[in-house]
Amino acid sequence: MPFTPRVFSGVQPTGSLHLGNYLGAIRRFVAMQDSYPCLYCVVDLHAITVWQDPTELAKATRHVTAAFLAAGIDAEKNIVFNQSRVSAHAELAWIFNCVARMGWLNRMTQFKEKAGKDRENASVGLFAYPNLMAADILAYQATHVPVGEDQKQHLELTRDIAQKFNFDYAERLAELGWTDGLFPMTEPIIQGPATRVMSLRDGAKKMSKSDVSDNSRINLTDDADTIAQKVRKAKTDPEPLPSELKGLEGRPEADNLVGIYAALAETTKEAVLAEHGGAMFSAFKPALADLAVSVLAPVNTEMRRLLDDEAHLDAVLDNGSQRAAAIAGPILADVKRVVGFVG
Residues that bind ligand TYM (CB under 6 A): 8-12, 20-21, 24-25, 43, 46, 133, 136-137, 145, 147-148, 150-151, 194-197, 206-207
Q: Which residue is nearest to ligand TYM (CB)?
A: 24
- 46 vs 285, which CB is nearer to ligand TYM? 46
Catalytic residue among 77, 114, 235, 246: 114
Q: How far is the CB of 57 from ligand TYM (least distance, A)?
A: 13
Query: Do the strands 144-146 and 187-189 form a parallel or antiparallel pair, or are they unpaired?
Result: parallel
- 240 vs 252, which CB is nearer to ligand TYM? 252
Residues facing 145 on adjacent strands? 188
Q: Is 117 a catalytic residue?
A: no
Q: How far is the CB of 201 from ligand TYM (least distance, A)?
A: 13
- 126 vs 279, which CB is nearer to ligand TYM? 126
DSSP of 241-281, one letter per residue? PPSSGGGGTT-HHHHHHHHHHHHHTTS-HHHHHHHHTT--H
User: Measuring CA to CA, which residue among 296, 293, 288, 285 is closest to residue 232?
Assistant: 285
Q: What share of the chain is helix, strand, coil (3-state, %, to 5)?
A: 60, 5, 35
Catalytic residue among 152, 205, 209, 336: 209
Q: Is 285 a catalytic residue?
A: no
Q: What distance lies between CA 285 and its chain's CA centroid?
A: 27
Q: How far is the CB of 339 from ligand TYM (least distance, A)?
A: 22
Q: How far is the CB of 343 from ligand TYM (least distance, A)?
A: 28
Q: Is 235 a catalytic residue?
A: no
CA separation, residue 291 to residues 79, 184, 227, 263, 295 (Å) = 30, 39, 10, 10, 6
Catalytic residue numbers, as ranges: 114, 206, 209
